[in-house]
Amino acid sequence: MKIFVAASYSSKVNYDTGEVFTEYKEWLEDILSILEKQGHEVFCALRADQYKINDADPAEAFSLDMHHIQESDAILALLSDKVSAGVQTEIGAAITLKKRVILAHELKDELAWFNAAMVKAGTAKELILPLNEDGLESVLVTTDDFSSKSAFAETVKTMVNTPPVSNEELRKSK
């Protein structure tokens, strides 16, 4: 399976050197290695950029990511307590392209409200890190085919036909 791994740059870079923090690089490489050992073909922009902010045109970087998402079967979004605009954009693109979406995070980091809504709607699957040999496979095996009518279409229909709810009511429903 081709898997696009979406991971944040913004909070994981030493802006003086432009390099990704060593601890984060090692953590990410561990995850990528597990995926590759399981026979998956993996694309991760951080690895492709050699774990350093590059001088490429942002439009080119965006186009490259969109191309790899389009070519992938699934996206594994690595989430933390800091929401990344880039990762969220990649998740949205994957949903639009009807790819399998797996939202992975450590137990200590709750999913952001909208990400939790995607899981609840059946548009994405949640995976608790650390990733082990069986973790991703169990999510991929149980992931529904999002290219069918899917829960996403039903969720959008429900959202359109449902009156707005206040933030206070949303917090109470958690």
Between 170 and 106, residue with greater pLDDT: 106
Residue 112, C-beta contacts closer than 8 angstroms, at least 6 positions apart: 79, 83
Average pLDDT, the chain: 84
Cis peptide before 130 (omega within 30 of 0): yes
Tens digits of per-residue pLDDT, 12-52?
Answer: 999 999 999 999 999 999 999 999 999 999 999 999 999 99
Between 143 and 73, residue with greater pLDDT: 73
User: What are the structural domains, with CATH classification, of the chain?
Assistant: 2-173 (3.40.50.450)
Element (DSSP H or E) covering residue 150: helix 150-161
* Per-residue confidence (pLDDT) for residue 54, from 0 to 100: 80
For residue 111 the two structure tokens come to 């999913």
Tell me the whole-structure pTM to 2 decimals.
0.80
Concatenating the DSSP letter of every residue in 19-87 gives EEPHHHHHHHHHHHHHHHHTT-EEEEHHHHTTTB---S-HHHHHHHHHHHHHH-SEEEEE--SS--HHH
